[in-house]
Structure 1
Amino acid sequence: MKNKITRKNPANMPEPVGNYTHITKIPRNSELYVSSGQVGVDQNGSFPESLNAQINNTFHNIKTLLESEQLEANNIIKVNVWATEKIDWDYLYSEWGELFGNNYPAMTIGYITELGLPEIKIELEIWAAKV
C-alpha cells in the first residue's frame, strides 16, 4: 500500500457532492506532473462554440497529454476545473466517467467571468503522480 496512490473519503466527513474524492495521497518519492490548464481547442487550433464540444476536446487533450508521459487516469491525483458558464454536469460526468471510471481524483471547481482567451469556456488543470 505504501507504493500506491490512495484515495479516500474520511468517515467523519460528509460524502462528496460530486464525482471526486476528498483525499488523494501519493507515496514519498513519486514523480509529480503538473499540467497547464487544458482547454477545448481542437487539433486545428479552433474553439467550438458550445461548452459541451469544448469539454469533449478538453478531455481528448488531457488523454493525449497523459499518453505523452506514459501516464493513465489512475495517475491523476487532482483536477482543477474553471468554467465561464454553467456546466452541463451530465455531459461532463459522462466524459469524467469514461476517463476515471469510479476511481475519482480530488477536484476543485470554480465559475469565473473569463479565462485566458474570450473563446475559452472551460479549462482543466491536472496534477498527476507516477509511483
Structure 2
Amino acid sequence: MEYVKTERAPQAIGPYSQAVKVNGMVYTSGAIPLNAAGELVEGGIKEQTNQVFANLKTILEEAGSSLQQVIKATVFIQDMNEFAELNEVYAEHFGDHKPARSTVEVARLPKDVRVEIEVIALCK
C-alpha cells in the first residue's frame, strides 16, 4: 500500500490521505473545491466542480493514473437542483469516457462546499 501526496492539490483537512494506491488501483479521498493553498474556490456549482476535477486530475497524475482510468466515481452534491449543471462540467472532464457513478444529495459537506467527488481508478 502506498499513500499518495502532492503539494499541487489541497492537503487533507483531517487524518486521511489524498489517495491510496494498492494492487494496481488508486482510491482518492473526497475532493472538494479548495485550491492548492487550501482556499475555497468561490462561485456556483460549475466553478466548484471544475476545481474538484483540477484536484482529482493532479492527485491521479501523482498516483500514475488519470481521469481516463477512472472506473467508479461517487459524487456528493448539496442541492440536487444543480444536478444538470454538475453533469455539464462532469461530461466536459470525462468526455467519451463513462465510468460507473453514484450521485447522492447530502445535507452538508466539509467547509459547506456544494460538491465533493471521490474516484477509484486503475494505475497505468
TM-score by structure 1 length?
0.67
CA apart distance, 1:88: 3.5
Percent identity of paired positions between Structure 1 and Structure 2: 24
CA apart distance, 1:65: 1.0
Matched with 2:25 is: 32
1:56-95, aligned counterparts within 5 Å?
Answer: 56-86=50-80, 88-95=82-89
Please, which runs of 5 or more residues in structure 1 have no aligned partner? 1-29
Deviations 1:50-92 (A, max 9, x none): 2222111101111111111221222101000001123544543
Matched with 1:43 is: 36
CA apart distance, 1:42: 1.7
Change (3 A) 1:87 1:63: farther
Whichever of the two has the greater Rg, that structure is 1
2:117 alignment partner, SS class: strand
1:38–1:58: 8 Å Cα contact kept in structure 2?
yes
Deviations 1:8-60 (A, max 9, x none): xxxxxxxxxxxxxxxxxxxxxx6111110001112332222422221111011
Paired residues in the alignment total 102
2:110 alignment partner, SS class: coil
Instruction: State how far apart, in whole Å, the 2-side matches of 1:86 and 1:102 are.
Output: 24
Q: 86-95 or 73-82, which moves further after superposition?
A: 86-95
TM-score by structure 2 length?
0.70
Change (3 A) 1:109 1:127: same
- Decide which of 101, 106, 115 is 2:100's aligned counterpart: 106
Matched with 1:96 is: 90
RMSD: 2.1
**Paired residue type of 1:129:** L
Please, which runs of 5 or more residues in structure 2 have no aligned partner? 1-22
Higher helix residue share: 2
Deviations 1:72-124 (A, max 9, x none): 2221010000011235445433332332211200000000101233x222100
Q: Does 1:52 align with 2:58?
A: no
**Paired residue type of 1:83:** I
